[in-house]
Amino acid sequence: MSIHLGDTAPNFTANTTEGTIDFHAYLGESWGVLFSHPADFTPVCTTELGRTALLKEEFAKRNVKVLAVSVDPLDKHIQWVKDINETQHCTVDFPIIADEDRKVATLYDMIHPNASATFTVRSLFIIGTDKKIKLFITYPASTGRNFVEVLRVIDSLQLTANHSVATPADWKEGENVIVVPAISTEDAILKFPKGVDVIKPYLRYTPQPE
């Protein structure tokens, strides 16, 4: 099945390192990051899961729950987490799905047969509080994801959800944002009291809303 932006994130129940999880119930009122890893006891994945654990406060600040997926079994995950904690100086305390039957990997199209017939690629889905897919990225097994970028896109998505603004190329937290085309300049001036800088009728900046 292929997944598109705006689709409802498919729900599932799965065995994880934190017990059995119903995905939608796990998310509750939070945003979600669901991300796949090719295999346990592999170097790039070890750094990615460690980095995620170290960013716990950043995800919490943004009301985001994370959930990792790997097609290896639970006992292997539990052993691997010990290594991750040791080598990455962290405490992994988010769930890792033991997706032995590839149920979640198949549901989210995480296996790309021309890359590997058995392992998942590095897919990452960001899910909003409405359970809709807001963004996905797919990296090959050999390239670890940039978690600063993951936090940056969450910030951008949350600004759009809360304030009807978009973010320009290379935007970073605290920089000016763009008024979405659906809002007239007249309405934008009322909506954004910090000011609206009209460069072109379709290109209007405003300071980042709080």
| Positions marked active-site | 45
Site track 68-107 with ligand BEZ (rule: CB under 6 A), x = hit: ----------------------------------------
Count the neighbouring beta carbons within 10 Å of the beta carbon of residue 98.
Answer: 22
85 token code pair: 């904690």
95 token code pair: 């769930």
d(CA 92, CA 85): 6
Q: Should residue 43 be labelled a site residue for ligand BEZ when binding is judged by CB under 6 A?
A: yes
Q: Which of 142, 169, 182, 199 binds ligand BEZ (CB under 6 A)?
A: 142
Shortest Å distance, C-beta 40 to ligand BEZ? 9
Shortest Å distance, C-beta 118 to ligand BEZ? 11
Would you say 105 and 111 are in contact if contact means Cβ atoms under 8 Å apart? yes
Shortest Å distance, C-beta 49 to ligand BEZ? 10
Closer residue to ligand BEZ, CB minimum distance, 44 or 137: 44
Of 20-28, 36-44, 66-74, 148-156, which segment contacts ligand BEZ by CB under 6 A?
36-44
Closer residue to ligand BEZ, CB minimum distance, 49 or 165: 49
Q: Please state whether beta strands 203-206 and 177-179 pair in parallel, antiparallel, or not at all (unpaired).
A: antiparallel
d(CA 117, CA 75): 23
Handedness of CA 189, 194, 195, 196 (dihedral sign): negative
Residues 44-73 that bind ligand BEZ (CB under 6 A): 44-45
Q: Which residues 6+ apart lie within 8 Å of 117 measured at CB?
A: 111
142 token code pair: 């050999």
Which residues are at the interface with ligand BEZ (CB under 6 A)? 38, 42-45, 141-142
